[in-house]
Amino acid sequence: MESLPRLIERARRIRLMLFDVDGVLTDGTLYVGEGGEIMKAFNARDGHGMKMLAESGIEVGLISSRQSRIVAMRAAELGIALVRQGAADKAVEFAAILAERKIDAAQAGFMGDDVLDLPVLTRCGFAASVPEAPEAVRSRAHFVPGSAGGRGAAREVCEFILRAQNNFDAALNRYLR
């Protein structure tokens, strides 16, 4: 991980924060039923952290290599319109998103947990991972929260960005009225 001042500097530039799904917004476990249905468990606090980030003016999106109706449903529930599923090459998706939004990679963050996330983690301005990610991933991340994937890691990242941009108190004040 980088020094705190450098990390804060990176987080201050963020205008777009993207998240992988399996292993980041979930604990990576896939429950497969007899009929082939797949279920995932999402953390409510992670979801609310993403909503707080979006309410502060940072666009939030998902990039997943898997295709899942569950992910589309969860994204809709959270008000996340930017959802790219079935992304065989996440670097290509990342570049397309940057071009569409007309922003520089330094203004985009990404949170991933495995080697297939490295092409985006090594290109974005603020790279986050989870504690249980392979060393090859963690060592390339700028920030690794203390909480596990699907257990509050995304929320910690959202709050770190909010604090770095001096928006955490404003986000919190929405609930203290």
Q: What is the pLDDT of residue 107?
A: 98
Helix (H) or strand (E) holding 9: helix 4-12
- The domain total for the chain is 1
- Give the pLDDT confidence score for residue 175 in this predicted structure: 87
Give the pLDDT of residue 1: 67
Give the CA angle between residues 1, 62, 37 to the nearest 5°. Answer: 115
- CA 150 from centroid of its chain's CA atoms: 11
Residue 81's CB is within 10 A of a number of other CB atoms, namely 11
- Length of the chain, in residues: 177
Q: DSSP letters along 20-81, please?
A: -STTTTS-S--EE-TTS-EE----HHHHHHHHHHHHTT-EEEEE-SS--HHHHHHHHHHT--
Q: Which domain holds residue 28?
A: 4-173
Q: Is the pTM of this model over 0.85?
A: yes
Q: Which residue has the tokens 């990039």?
A: 63
Spell out the residues 6+ positions from residue 100 whose beta carbon is closer than 8 angstroms to its own: none
**Which CATH number belongs to the domain containing residue 127 in this structure?**
3.40.50.1000
Residue 153: exposure state from Cβ atoms within 10 A (0-12, 13-18, ≥19) = buried
pLDDT tens, position by position, 92-139: 999 999 999 999 999 999 999 999 999 999 999 999 999 999 999 999
Q: Which residues of the chain have pLDDT under 50?
A: none
* CA–CA gap between residue 25 and residue 71 (Å, rounded): 10
